[in-house]
Structure 1
Amino acid sequence: MFQKSWVNRGLCTTAVMGIFTPLVAQADFVDDRQISLGTRNFYIDRDFKQSDAPKSRIGSWTQGFDFRAISGYTEGTLQFGLDLSAQYAYRLDGGGGRGPDSIIPYDDSKGEQVRDYGRAALTGKVRYNKTELKIGELRPTLPVAYIDDSRQLITTYHGVQIESKEIDNLTLTGGRFTEISSRESSNREKMYLFNGPDMQRRSDGLNFGGGTYAFSPNLSATYFYGQLEDIYQQHYLGLMYNHDLGAGYGLKTDLRYFNNKEDGKALYGEIDNRSYGLMTTLKKGGHAFGIGYQRMLGESTFPTLNGYAPQPYLVNWSTVAFVKPNESSWQLRYDYNFAAMGVPGLKLMTRYIRGTGVDRGSNALDQNVESERNIVLGYVVQSGTLKDLGFEWRRIDVKTRYGSGRAAGPDYQENRLITTYTWKF
């Protein structure tokens, strides 16, 4: 059933667009517009391997749509614009008998995934010189808040964000998010901890601010502060350096540090988590060889937002995430761009991540080990009638073991098949 909340927002969107109709007379507002319809056909199958798994398999097959109408700006010193977005997904298969699959919302009363879901929203924007203010639905890619584009519908946030590039080589960003729409929901809801206790103690908002400064084309530093009111405070510091080694070799190094602690009323109690990570990648032609190390310090798991909002600023972020208390993890990664062999559009990524030393309390549970293997093979058509049509296969293998060798958690093999295409009008 198509959800009423999505329809109601669509009616509101129509009304607000009517209010802004006079703006259409502004040439730049119309001429600079970008209208697109993204489509995504998504198949996912997760096969659990441990004997006591609640479900032997979960998954679904869905078709999704992402419509975006991005306006230009009106003329004048203070310029205005208005954006519209609408997302919708329909389940083609995978309903009864399968549990929640992290893509389609799950109807507990019926014991199956819903047939369809979606949402729509507006974003108002104001620009002055090199400073831009946006209010409404937002898709941030910040150390303190990040979208999730790994499933069907995209995780978005709602609030206000301002970005300024008035100073050369410096980008400043700040704002406040009051709600989130997670990847498997039609609704907007206040933020809480995904990996906290079962009680969903919600925050009134996420306040944040920070910036990135480019010392040179090859060296940049980033700092951000985030405050999820009455839950946690977060500091992030990152350093990125690209070095030309000569003879076609290049070396990219990322250093990243997080510090998390409780805030205000501490709705989830004391939060004691710090992490640092290093990722270095050697590139030559179409090849890229990477090695990474990540360490969690303190007695708490790294805090993540509801809907399992991702944190890719952690160098070993993945399906498992490797964010448990005191966990050390390392990564080996290889990428290849087949354009070097005369096949542009074809790319391969494979990696192995292993985490150890998790602090799980007594009985030597700190000996547990978890690992993940990924293979991602993708191709985008480069020319002809089907230009920009994309195909991708993702393979994920997860294993978790205690020191004694007994299965500790969900062991599974997962396959995802994704087809994408975007019409631009």
Structure 2
Amino acid sequence: MKLTYGIILPLYILSMPVMANSFIDDSQGSLMSRNYYFDREYTDPQKIGRAKDWTQGFILNLKSGYTEGKVGLGLDLQALTAIKIIGDSDYIASGLIPTDKITRERADTASELGITGKIKFEDSELKIGTVMPFNPIISSSRSRLLPQTFRGTLFESKDIDNIELYAGYIDKVNHRDSTNYETMSITTSNGRFNAAQADNLSFLGSKYSPSKDTQYSLYYGIIDDLYAQAAFTFNNTYMLTENTRLLSDLRFWNSNEHGRALAGKIDNTLLTGNFGFNYNNHLLTLSTMQNFGDTAHPYLSGGEVQLFVEGWGVDFLNPKEKVYSIRYDYNFQDYVPGLRAAIRYIKGTNIDLPQLGGNNLKEDSKAFELQYNFQQSYLKGLSFRTRYMTSDNNFAKNTTFKPANETRINIDYTWKF
């Protein structure tokens, strides 16, 4: 099945009534200015280099309302622009801006336009075109200058009380440092799977919220001829006192090869648990991830998995890996409103990578984060965020994830209109 978006969208736009009050009156827009500095220095003895870039990005989102009638039609536009401030070919690409794979030359500027048609009936909505899914099966990555986008169709329904239904079909991806749609592929980090591509991805999902403090979700997806994946999540907040909460976040994935199994054998069950204790401005979170089965957890190239335990340059998803993490967050709202800080430590053991050094390998990551959202009315929408991370492992030198020290700095400003 191939979606002929080049035909559908122009016909869709021409079919809209010229005069539609709700279409105009309910429209909204935003423009985000994002300044992003990225510096990852690899620390292994081979001195393979450094990934370093400084860029400026602009993300314009224009969302229409819907035309009048039982079935409403709408249109969303997204314009993305990346501008190089500093980007030296002596450094490895950072993923912030398009880079020539051979010469390492950065593009001076790069822009793209996304168009999404939408159809609404009661509390159900269908989107066609540029989409940004965010669920346990496929997630649009926002971890660089510009977001990762996809080409496809998404369906969402909230017509049933306390239940949300989702479905999607995706056939192309536009990566964070690209302006072109490409075929999706599986992540092959650390030689986990064969390099292989998928013509399409489809998924079904649902969320059930029996109360405002509890939510369950269930998803199932097929990445054509690569793997099939089921995912279950559970979130709960329990109030001990007015100022004290217990937080629970449990997630489960089961993945196996699908169809022609172009990526090779896939056999993984991933269990994650995050347990938080929140008292006033303090939040302490203990987490674990357990990988079972013969292979690593599969996911699509250029993105991430929806995990609480995330290590930026390290994914902690190797075969048989056992992961433990502690994180502490503090909100300075009583002293400096808008200021937050976090510190964390992640340890992975029992890693099975015979081709990279053995079957009892280990890795770890330490990180610190400071974020400030300006509260003054004339600076509302301006935020500053800095992150510093160190990672280490005892893998062989040809590993994908190498020991490194990393700094990221973001300055974001969002105008809403």
TM-score normalised by structure 1 residue count: 0.91
Equivalent in the alignment of 1:300: 295
Contact 1:50–1:407 (8 Å) recurs in 2: no
Quick one: which amino acid aligns to residue 39 of structure 1?
S
What is the CA deviation profile of residues 221-255 of structure 1, one whole-angstrom value per residue up to 9, with x for unaligned ones? 11000100100000001111111112521001011
Q: How does 1:187-206 map to 2 (within 5 A)?
A: 187-195=180-188, 200-206=195-201
Could you tell me which residue of structure 1 aligns to residue 131 of structure 2? 138
Q: Which residue of 2 aligns with 1:5?
A: none
Q: Distance in 2 between matches of 1:383 and 1:364?
A: 53
CA change 1:416–1:243 in 2 (3 A) is: same
- Against the structure 1 CA distance between its residues 219 and 199, is the aligned structure 2 distance closer, same or farther, given a 3 Å change threshold? closer
* Post-superposition offset of 1:347: 1.0
Give the secondary structure class of the aligned counterpart of 2:326: strand
Among 88, 91, 100, the alignment partner of 2:93 is: 100
- For the 8 Å contact 1:400–1:407, the answer to whether it is kept is no
CA contact (8 A) 1:346 1:380 kept: yes
Alpha-carbon distance between aligned partners in 2 of 1:374 and 1:95, rounded to the nearest angstrom:
26
Matched, 1:356 2:383: no
Gaps of 5+ in 1: 1-8
Map of 1:416 onto structure 2:
408
Is the 1:99–1:113 contact (alpha carbons within 8 Å) kept by the matching residues of 2? no
Letter of the aligned partner of 1:369 in structure 2?
A: K
- Which deviates more, 239-248 or 223-232? 239-248
Helix, strand or coil for the counterpart of 1:385?
Answer: helix
SS state of the match for residue 107, structure 1?
Answer: coil
* Contact 1:138/1:156, CA 8 A, preserved across alignment: yes
Give the match for residue 6 of structure 1. Answer: none
Whole-angstrom distance in 1 between the partners of 2:119 and 2:89:
47
SS of 2:352's partner is: coil
User: In structure 1, what is the equivalent of residue 83 of structure 2?
Assistant: 90
State the one-letter code of the partner of 1:70.
K
CA deviation vs aligned residue, 1:376-405 (integer Å, no higher than 9, x gap): 111111123222211110111111126xx9
Query: Could you tell me which residue of structure 2 aligns to residue 229 of structure 1?
Result: 224
Alpha-carbon distance change, 124 to 396 in structure 1, aligned in 2, over 3 angstroms: same
Contact 2:356 2:398 in 1 (8 A): no
* Residue identity matched to 1:26: A
Matched to 1:38, the amino acid is M
The counterpart of 1:390, out of the listed 380, 383, 388, is: 383
Aligned residues: 408
Tell me if the contact between 2:16 and 2:73 (Cα under 8 Å) persists in the aligned partners. no
1:259-308 deviation digits (Å, cap 9, x = unpaired): 0000001111110111101101110111110000100111211112121x
Distance 1:315 1:388, change over 3 A: closer
**Structure 2, unaligned runs of 5 or more:** none
**Structure 1 pair 94–160 and aligned structure 2 pair: CA distance change class (3 A):** same
Look up the match of 1:216: 211
CA 1:276/1:330 → structure 2, altered by over 3 Å: closer, same or farther?
same
1:252 to 244, 247, 255: 247
Distance (Å, rounded) in 2 between the aligned partners of 1:420 and 1:17: 36
* Percentage of pairs with the same residue: 32
- Residue 260 of structure 1 aligns to a residue whose secondary structure is strand
Instruction: For residue 343 of structure 1, report the CA deviation from its aligned partner.
Output: 2.0
Question: Partner amino acid for 1:421?
Answer: Y
8 Å contact kept, 2:291–2:318: yes
TM-score (norm 2): 0.92
**CA distance in structure 1 between the aligned counterparts of 2:410 and 2:17, rounded to whole angstroms:** 38
Q: Give the aligned residue type for 2:277.
A: L
Report whether the alignment pairs 1:276 with 2:271: yes
Per the alignment, residue 104 of structure 2 pairs with 111
- Would you say the 8 A contact 1:50–1:411 is kept in 2? yes
Partner of 1:25, secondary structure, is: coil
